[in-house]
Amino acid sequence: MEKVRSLSTLILYMKAGCPLCREAEAALAEAGLSYEGRDILEDPDLYARYRYRIPVLARDGVDLVEGRDFDPAALRRLK
């Protein structure tokens, strides 16, 4: 049986001026992954959930990677 890959969008929760967020974006680019960025400062609920955890990469409501764990080689497995 062939593995079906998810076509869901990856979401990167971040905020402007965050050095770890910039590193996460660079790692995602190096891994060749596209994503939708969401600034947690624009949504009080997102801010409450992620303020101490950003950057956080999620898909389908599941948090996949956070903080300093953005390794390009590991991220490639998310394709």
Domains of the chain, start order: 10-78 (3.40.30.10)
What pLDDT digit, counting tens, does each position of 40-68 carry? 999 999 999 999 999 999 999 999 999 99
pLDDT band at 7 (very low <50, low <70, confident <90, very high): low
Rounding to the nearest 10 degrees, give the CA dihedral for residues 15, 13, 64, 52.
50
Mean per-residue pLDDT, 21-29: 97
Whether 12 and 38 have beta carbons less than 8 Å apart is answered as yes
Mean per-residue pLDDT, 26-46: 97
pLDDT band at 78 (very low <50, low <70, confident <90, very high): confident
Can you give the pLDDT at residue 2?
Answer: 47
Can you give the pLDDT at residue 6?
Answer: 52
